[in-house]
Structure 1
Amino acid sequence: MANDWRSETVDSIRGFINEAAPDVVEEAKWRKASNPDGVPTFSRSGLICTVETYKDKVKVTFAKGASLEDPAGLFNASLDAGTRRAIDIHESDDLDGDAFVELVRTAVALNEG
């Protein structure tokens, strides 16, 4: 991945996730020729979320997002999906870090249920 706004966004998301869940496990999965670095996945007592990079956005998909309270309205993609919910972040977007940290903490609590 090029070192541009997308890599900076992924680094920022990684920081928020680690702030919310310091003992989170990060793994790269689903490596392929078109994406040799794979997809970063974050788990603690089960999958929390994945972070995918596209040409025009960074997509954070929460595995159990449909079951999470989202008072700040961060979810803006996959809203009709049965289980997951996603946040699409474009170059001009400003992610609410505090709300994102709370969303990750809620996802961890759901996993640890």
Structure 2
Amino acid sequence: MNPPADADSPARQIDARIAALGDWRGETLARMRALVHEAGPEVIETVKWGGVPVWEHAGILCTGETYKAVVKLTFARGAALDDPTGLFNASLEGNTRRAIDIREGETPDADAFKALVRAAAALNASKRKPARR
């Protein structure tokens, strides 16, 4: 993925966020970001809510928040996704979102994560309203 030259582009903002973290959280966020793009090359990066990386395809797929002890990947419609390997380990009580909290030293299953991203993109695309004529 080649980010646009624009210094204010979402890709550059996410690059800067990862670099500013400078620790395992930045490395983890960068690894998960790469997996999102492997799963869905058509995914668009945006930045919302004061600097949170957001990956979208026909709507929000997931966000990448960083906290002191975890990198949290929240799937906007995660409750509607099958999670046969049990990656979702946070925000399990809600009716809509589901999250994956990654702690230092943890490495979620890459294939299972990419399957969730693809399923989220397919779900968003299936719910998209057709363009009006």
TM-score > 0.5 by shorter chain: yes
1:20 aligns with 2:39: yes
Residue 30 of structure 1 and its aligned partner are, at CA, apart by 1.1
1:93 is matched with which residue? 106
| CA RMSD, Structure 1 to Structure 2 (Å) | 0.7
Report the TM-score, using the length of structure 2 for normalisation: 0.79
Q: Distance in 2 between matches of 1:13 and 1:97?
A: 8
User: What SS does the corresponding residue of 2:30 show, helix, strand or coil?
Assistant: helix
Q: Which has the higher helix share?
A: 2
Q: Distance in 2 between matches of 1:4 and 1:19?
A: 23
Residue 2 of structure 1 and its aligned partner are, at CA, apart by 2.2
Cα deviation, 1:46-100, whole Å, max 9, x if unaligned, reads: 1100000000000000000000000110000000011000000000212101100
Q: Distance in 1 between matches of 2:35 and 2:47?
A: 18
Aligned pairs, number: 107
Structure 1 moving runs of 4+ over 3 Å: none
Which residue type is aligned with residue 53 of structure 2? P
Q: 1:6 aligns with which of 8, 25, 39?
A: 25
Report the TM-score, using the length of structure 1 for normalisation: 0.92
1:34 is matched with which residue? none
Structure number with greater CO (CA < 8 Å, separation at least 6) is 1
Identity of counterpart residues, as a percentage? 55
2:88 is matched with which residue? 75
> Structure 1: 5+ residue runs without aligned partners?
32-37
1:41 is matched with which residue? 54
